[in-house]
Structure 1
Amino acid sequence: MGTFNRRTGLAAAGLAAVVAVTSLSPAAATAGCDAALDGLLERATVVDLQAAMHTRRLSSEQVTRGYLLRIERLNPRLNAVVRVNPDAVAMARRSDAQRRAHGARGPLEGIPVLLKENMNTADRQGTTAGAKALLDAKPAADAFLVARLRAAGAVILGKANQSEWSNFRGSDLPDGWSAVGGQTHNPYVLDRSPAGSSSGSAVSAAAGLAAVAIGTDTDGSVVYPAAVTSTVGIRPTLGLVSRGGVVPITGRHDTPGPIARTVTDAALTLWALQGVDPADPDTATAAGTLPGDPRTVLNRDALRGKRIGLWREGHAGVDADVDRVFDAAVRQLRDLGATVVEGADVPDIQDVANEHMLPAVLTEFKHDLNAYLAATPGTHPKNLRELIDYYDRNPDGFDHVLFDMADKTDGDLTAPAYRAHREATTSAARRAIDDVLARYRLDAIVTPTSLPAPVIGRERDSAPFAKTTTHSAAAGYPHVTVPAGYSANGLPLGLSFLGTRFTDARLIGFAYAYEQATHARRTPHYLPTTR
């Protein structure tokens, strides 16, 4: 990450990159954006932007206005941003004043960040989870993670579109579609799926509509969109980032996580998000599991001497491009000094998922959503039953079968039957990963993250890869995806690093070493189709 200024704690390594890209004229400084700045924002890292702001070559206000102009220009094609924050420029000005008077509060000082539409903000933005049923909801307080971002000096740029209700409403909604935001499009090929449910967050990061974005992951909702948009996605260990103030599916799987164009940016964001929230007991358990300084994690030699298992079963032989990119990744891991271990296939737990996980999640959804709706001020359905009635009165062409199934449960998290389902699910998922790690004495497991993005509306074509995320999600374990390459027709492919509980820092280090050796990511070209 380069040399840090001792007073501000800011990285300076990216300054040369900023200077090489742009030298702003006084007119551009007044306007807040010109062609050079726009080009910079398409590629700039958080480190680059911090270096430029620290040396007064850019201000947060200029950067924020530049991203707002990029949203205005690109979002009509992408539909990734639901709304921009009317207070964003004012926040940027306050950050600039903070920097002038006292220095930066941290590496996110003045950095514009987009939030998934399911994260509460106690301002004029609203929080709908993509559903018109919540248009009149008025959260009384910021989500805990939003408060953490504000305290770190980040600029809340706006809200990103998502799959409505985080893909937990019915059986037939396309990934990246919501009644509030419409259909989000993949920036590499516009008729291809952005995956879900953190679709707008991943697309926004990929297209440079913000420096970084925050998504949430229940079962692949960060890592899948990140993989198909050639971005870095981190699903942290459960509890590392608070779920307080986030529209829930289940507190036993849900976790917010960063999506960014580089591992460094994602790591800096994760460090800012983490913290103990008294309203989320899992955060106390996770306290102290990340080192205090992310620089200790971002090591180009992190893979040297490590044992990395290969999970091929169920993924190999499905798609020729996936096989080609994964084989190249394996060669790169060896070149980086890792001992690569074949046969580290994580066993299928689909039988457990069918028998135990779905009943557990349905019960948790009813309990957690009812609690969220009841606690949220405003005019909107106050429980799941009222929400179902709303959709029955306001049909939109899609079903709500998962709502119906959840409503048939008692929503009781103390019931013996529920607790048995949850215990069976979590135990099976943890054993599936931990046994492989122990048997082969592994530091991590790698596997392809997903197939190339299917055409929008055909997301079920990617179902064979759904098992990549289920284990980590049900176990509450970390999962990091990093850009690995592209299909023959230019669709991004990702490489996943999986590990056991609280190995987030280790996995991030591995992803960083791989990223720095490959520099696989390319900027999107917004092709209309590949057909």
Structure 2
Amino acid sequence: VRGPLHGIPVLLKDNIATADRMSTSAGSLALDGVRAVKDAHIVTLLRNAGAVIIGKTNLSEWANMRSTHSTSGWSGRGGQTKNPYALDRNTSGSSSGSGAAAAASLATLTVGTETDGSIVSPSSSCGIVGFKPTLGLLSRSGIIPIAHSQDTAGPMTRSVADAALMLAAMAGPDADDKASADSKDHLADYAAALRLDGLRGKRIGVARNFFGSNDAVDAIIEKELALLKAQGAILVDVKVPNVDKYNDSELQVLLYEFAPGLEAYLKNYAPHAPVKNMQDVIAFNEKNAAREMPYFKQEHLVAAAAKPGLDAREYREALANDLRYARDEGIDQVMKEHKLDALVAPTGGPAWLTDYINGDHYGGSFSTPAAVAGYPHITVPAGFTRGLPVGISFVGGAWSEAALIGMAYAYEQASKRRRAPVYPATINPKL
């Protein structure tokens, strides 16, 4: 027996490097067939734990950081990922294939990555558990990046228990990712956190300013709040402050960090790739527009390539703004003021019709505060509207993974809202 995941089949999002016969492409034809020269750090840990990497999953190309008008789940290399709960509906993204594959039981475990929403949103849309950990709990080495200030990998599974076991296998420091250095002081026994009484006595803030985007979703979550109380939680209505003060600065940070991060990845993990930097990718897409840009363009790639270096004042001010309002005067402030163990809200709206003309149609999202702060966020299936799954989110402060696992597990075991998909061509309100 090699480890706790011995013989367990795992699928990886196709932006996670593997030094085997599989390519690592971020969904781009520019990297089609390009094999990494070494495993990503989390892949090494998964292999050491005994996991069997059986394939890569499709994603929103470049982790949904290519266009201002993109359609989630589509990539030039992989085409369109479909939602198992209604095949004409979107999976959300950018970990689209990981979400669909977990929902469809194509593997026991899948891995996604998130910059903002890319784990929790497709998990909610596909009726599974998604866990975005604290920034630095998992190494990002060998993952095609968007932004080192927000990027992380995380489990996407059909149960909280599976997510906990997978998180334990992937967590820990890596000399090649300085953000992971602090993780060694915060590792926990995540399996031991799987307690049926994990909600008892917990003070949970209901983030009311993240309700109101969808009446049906709100009604589902209100019922689940009653279940949280029945399991011993103490609920407090709160407002997460200053959420409107970092929308613009978040995008600026992502644009500034994208190009240098991509160039470093290509140099260290794919030095033989035909593209060496963002400008090369842009030129490839223009040359191969019929295959790469049939539905949407590459505005974000162009904007990222035009940014100056990370010593630019605009970048430093944007990053400081993010951390001030998402952390210090955001999640930290509301949790301290109300003595909270976690925040809870709808993860987002139900899956929308895949639409190549108008792009994505998000129905609200609770992903951004935790994403910008770098704090943990777990979503658990909460119910269905017209046959489409929706999730409930638990968000905590830095390094609170074990506590969140306890709360999420207690809720999951009391609710048991997940049910397997049956792959209808379109929505069926009777399901």
Using the size of structure 2 for normalisation, the TM-score is 0.95
Preserved CA contact (<8 Å) 1:136 1:379:
no
* CA displacement at 1:255 relative to structure 2: 0.1
Q: 2:235 aligns with which of 320, 340, 364?
A: 340
* CA displacement at 1:332 relative to structure 2: 0.3
- Structure 2 residue aligned with 1:326: 221
* Structure 1 counterpart SS, 2:185: coil
- Structure 2 residue aligned with 1:315: 211
Q: How does 1:118-157 map to 2 (within 5 A)?
A: 118-157=15-54
| Pairing 1:360–2:256 present | no
| Pairing 1:224–2:118 present | no
Deviations 1:480-501 (A, max 9, x none): 00001000x1100100001111
- Structure 2 residue aligned with 1:285: 182
- Structure 2 residue aligned with 1:503: 400
Q: How does 1:8-27 map to 2 (within 5 A)?
A: none
- Structure 2 residue aligned with 1:450: 348
**Which runs of no fewer than 5 residues in structure 2 stay unpaired?**
none
* Structure 2 counterpart SS, 1:313: helix
Q: Determine the C-alpha separation between the residues in 1 that align with 2:273 and 2:102.
A: 33
**Which runs of no fewer than 5 residues in structure 1 stay unpaired?**
1-103
Q: 1:192 aligns with which of 71, 77, 89?
A: 89
Equivalent residue letter for 1:407: A
Preserved CA contact (<8 Å) 1:193 1:459:
no
Q: Determine the C-alpha separation between the residues in 2 that align with 1:277 and 1:505.
A: 21
Equivalent residue letter for 2:351: A
Preserved CA contact (<8 Å) 1:122 1:139:
yes
Equivalent residue letter for 1:349: V
Q: Determine the C-alpha separation between the residues in 2 that align with 1:359 and 1:461.
A: 22
Preserved CA contact (<8 Å) 1:120 1:139:
yes
Q: How does 1:12-411 map to 2 (within 5 A)?
A: 104-291=1-188, 293-316=189-212, 318-342=213-237, 344-354=238-248, 356-375=249-268, 376-395=270-289, 396-397=293-294, 398-410=296-308
Using the size of structure 1 for normalisation, the TM-score is 0.77
Q: Determine the C-alpha separation between the residues in 2 that align with 1:478 and 1:485.
A: 22
| Pairing 1:461–2:354 present | no
Equivalent residue letter for 1:359: Q
Preserved CA contact (<8 Å) 2:210 2:346:
no
- Structure 2 residue aligned with 1:520: 417
Deviations 1:257-286 (A, max 9, x none): 000000000110010011211000111112
**Identity rate, percent:** 44
- Structure 2 residue aligned with 1:71: none
> How many residues were matched structurally?
420
* Structure 1 counterpart SS, 2:254: helix
* Structure 1 counterpart SS, 2:235: strand
Preserved CA contact (<8 Å) 1:136 1:380:
no
* Structure 2 counterpart SS, 1:446: strand
* CA displacement at 1:149 relative to structure 2: 0.6
Preserved CA contact (<8 Å) 2:69 2:360:
no
* CA displacement at 1:137 relative to structure 2: 2.3
Preserved CA contact (<8 Å) 2:382 2:390:
yes
- Structure 2 residue aligned with 1:436: 334
Deviations 1:30-75 (A, max 9, x none): xxxxxxxxxxxxxxxxxxxxxxxxxxxxxxxxxxxxxxxxxxxxxx
Asked which structure has the greater CA Rg, the reply is: 1
Q: Determine the C-alpha separation between the residues in 2 that align with 1:174 and 1:145.
A: 28
* Structure 2 counterpart SS, 1:350: coil
* Structure 2 counterpart SS, 1:460: coil
* Structure 2 counterpart SS, 1:304: coil
* Structure 1 counterpart SS, 2:111: strand
Preserved CA contact (<8 Å) 2:124 2:347:
yes
Equivalent residue letter for 1:423: A
- Structure 2 residue aligned with 1:26: none
* Structure 2 counterpart SS, 1:453: coil
* CA displacement at 1:415 relative to structure 2: 3.2
Equivalent residue letter for 1:262: S
Preserved CA contact (<8 Å) 1:321 1:486:
no
Which range is displaced more, 304-313 or 158-167?
304-313
Preserved CA contact (<8 Å) 2:351 2:388:
yes
Q: Determine the C-alpha separation between the residues in 2 that align with 1:156 and 1:143.
A: 12
* CA displacement at 1:171 relative to structure 2: 1.9
**Larger relative CO (CA 8 A, sep 6+): 1 or 2?**
2
Equivalent residue letter for 1:518: S
* CA displacement at 1:331 relative to structure 2: 0.3
Preserved CA contact (<8 Å) 1:138 1:377:
no
Deviations 1:468-513 (A, max 9, x none): 11111111000000001000x1100100001111111111110000
